């Protein structure tokens, strides 16, 4: 039995194929430049390596058809019969306040996504197109929607309400929604396992730092507050997004520079953040290289970004009303950029957050959970590689079987101390060959295989 997961963006379609019977990822890949010229697919099949090919994809239906064709190709494919695909899980960025858990897609559900797409204009239209395209190609299997916003539906009203006219909330659904929910769900549950606690007894602060970045204060195993807002623009400094700024800034620039609404939207979402401050770079690797070469604006961008994360950690400790069990870093930058982690944690020692620089420098892997805090740090610091695709896969399988429920009443496979990711086990062997000392910081979980 195979579960296919799809994550369709405006110009891309990422996919993963999971063999449920063997609990293993057998293929993954991405179709890029969908709706644009120069389309291509990159496909990685277990035991067969990586395959790349150019292919024009003027729409998402053709992109999904290309994925299916690639998966069933005699040479590079991993399945021979489409009938082995029993469910498809779709990432949907914005579900508004309509959904507190994943759902099987029905015409009514799709209509709800259309109703709230003004809240997620950069993501929801592509998500909807991806679902409709996959339904055409695979019409006889359940299609399941896994929403970034669902995890955050446990936030209290003091966390999600804005201090704006109340009618904006009742009439236009204006409120904080939060995103990266699938990643926060996975890392929060894994933090509970690492800490040897039940989810309901776990209190952590998670920093999901990638090109897009957000934070989540997890209280009693549930989302209590998060940094992104009605859209993914609020909160941390990101690759090209501004994060927090004075709302009046938009009006000021509209008057001063004669900018229109679309100009402001584009500037704050696509021309700000690290790119806006540095003037050149949105990738942290480029920022680091430029800093090493003496680029002061790159250094300023780095310092603003890490200061913002540090400020949120302090505010979330106050919001939780208790000492958190751990600070968790995840996503591409959080998992690999020791410099960002060090800059974030430096100066938080008085709050009980003490980073070990040597441990931190070793933590560069997507294949193991590591502890980078000093031995005497009251609050642990973990790096937990996220696995959003696994959450999507397990939600889709449980929806198909009728066993799924909201996460507080549902147990995932990765909540077991004995859980292991076969692909990551193999990847870790290669990592340890390159960096044997990595073994010293890998979290040891009682009962693990």
Answer whether residue 60 shows pLDDT above 90. no
223 and 324, same domain (yes or no): yes
78 and 204, same domain (yes or no): no
Answer whether residue 2 shows pLDDT above 90. yes
Instruction: With cut-offs at 50, 70 and 90, classify the pLDDT of residue 375.
Output: very high
Instruction: With cut-offs at 50, 70 and 90, classify the pLDDT of residue 344.
Output: very high
110 and 238, same domain (yes or no): no
Q: Is 148 a catalytic residue?
A: yes
The rounded mean pLDDT for the chain is 94
Does 14 map to a domain? yes
Choose one of 383, 415, 435: the last residue of a domain.
383
Residue 447: what pLDDT? Answer: 75
Residue 11: what pLDDT? Answer: 78
130 and 226, same domain (yes or no): no
218 and 311, same domain (yes or no): yes
Does 400 map to a domain? no
Does 349 map to a domain? yes
Tens digits of residue pLDDT in 88-129? 999 998 888 889 999 999 999 999 999 888 777 777 888 888
Tens digits of residue pLDDT in 259-295? 999 999 999 999 999 999 999 999 999 999 999 999 9
- Per the structure, how many domains does the chain have? 2
Catalytic residue among 19, 148, 395, 431: 148
340 and 204, same domain (yes or no): yes
253 and 360, same domain (yes or no): yes
370 and 240, same domain (yes or no): yes
359 and 238, same domain (yes or no): yes
Answer whether residue 36 shows pLDDT above 90. no
Choose one of 147, 163, 180: the last residue of a domain.
147
Does 433 map to a domain? no
Choose one of 383, 402, 436: the last residue of a domain.
383
Across residues 375-398, what is the average pLDDT?
97
Tens digits of residue pLDDT in 311-320? 999 999 999 9
Residue 324: what pLDDT? Answer: 98
Which residue range is the domain that position 96 belongs to? 2-147
Whether residue 255 contacts residue 228, with contact meaning beta carbons closer than 8 Å, is answered with: no
Does 390 map to a domain? no
Does 37 map to a domain? yes
Across residues 217-224, what is the average pLDDT?
98
Residue 316: what pLDDT? Answer: 98
Does 275 map to a domain? yes
Answer whether residue 133 shows pLDDT above 90. no
Answer whether residue 377 shows pLDDT above 80. yes
Could you tell me the CATH number of the domain that includes residue 213?
3.30.420.40
Does 334 map to a domain? yes
238 and 372, same domain (yes or no): yes
Across residues 162-182, what is the average pLDDT?
96
225 and 306, same domain (yes or no): yes
209 and 134, same domain (yes or no): no
């Amino acid at each position: 039995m195979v579960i296919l997961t799809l994550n369709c963006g405006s110009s891309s379609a990422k996919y993963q194929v999971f063999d449920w019977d063997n609990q293993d990822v057998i293929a993954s890949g991405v179709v890029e430049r969908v709706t644009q010229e120069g389309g291509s697919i990159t496909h990685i099949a277990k035991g067969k390596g990586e395959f790349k090919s150019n292919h024009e994809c003027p729409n998402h239906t053709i992109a999904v058809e290309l994925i299916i064709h690639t998966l069933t190709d005699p040479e590079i494919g991993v399945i021979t019969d489409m009938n082995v695909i029993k469910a498809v899980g779709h990432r949907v960025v914005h579900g508004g306040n309509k959904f507190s858990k994943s759902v099987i897609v029905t015409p009514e559900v799709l209509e709800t996504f259309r109703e709230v797409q003004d809240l997620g204009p950069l993501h929801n239209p592509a998500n909807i197109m991806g679902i409709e395209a996959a339904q055409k190609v695979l019409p006889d299997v359940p299609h399941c929607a896994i929403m970034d916003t669902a995890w955050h539906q446990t936030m209290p009203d003091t966390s999600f309400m804005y201090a704006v006219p109340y009618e904006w909330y009742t009439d236009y659904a204006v409120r904080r929604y939060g995103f990266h929910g699938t990643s926060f769900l996975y890392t929060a549950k894994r933090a509970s396992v690492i800490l040897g606690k039940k989810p309901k007894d776990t209190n952590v602060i998670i920093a999901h730092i990638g090109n897009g970045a957000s934070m989540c204060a997890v209280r009693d195993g549930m989302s209590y507050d998060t940094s992104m807002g009605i859209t993914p623009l609020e909160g941390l400094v990101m690759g090209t997004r501004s994060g927090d700024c004075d709302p009046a800034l938009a009006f000021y620039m509209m008057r001063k520079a004669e900018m229109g609404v679309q100009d402001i939207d584009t500037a704050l979402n696509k021309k700000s953040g690290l790119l806006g401050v540095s003037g050149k770079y949105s990738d942290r690797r480029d920022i680091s290289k430029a800093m090493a070469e003496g680029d002061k604006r790159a250094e300023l961008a780095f310092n603003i970004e890490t200061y913002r994360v540090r400020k949120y950690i302090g505010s979330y400790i106050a919001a939780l009303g208790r000492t958190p069990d751990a600070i968790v870093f995840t996503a591409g930058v959080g998992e690999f950029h020791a410099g960002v982690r060090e800059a974030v944690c430096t100066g938080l020692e008085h709050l009980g957050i003490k980073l070990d620089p040597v441990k931190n420098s070793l933590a560069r892997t997507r294949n193991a959970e590591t502890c980078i805090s000093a031995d005497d740090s009251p609050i642990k610091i973990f790096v937990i590689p996220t696995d959003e695709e696994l959450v999507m896969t397990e939600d889709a399988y449980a929806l198909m079987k009728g066993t799924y429920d909201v996460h507080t009443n549902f147990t995932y496979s990765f909540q077991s101390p004995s859980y292991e990711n076969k692909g990551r086990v193999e990847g870790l062997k290669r990592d340890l060959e390159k960096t044997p000392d990595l073994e010293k910081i890998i979290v040891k979980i009682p009962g693990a295989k």
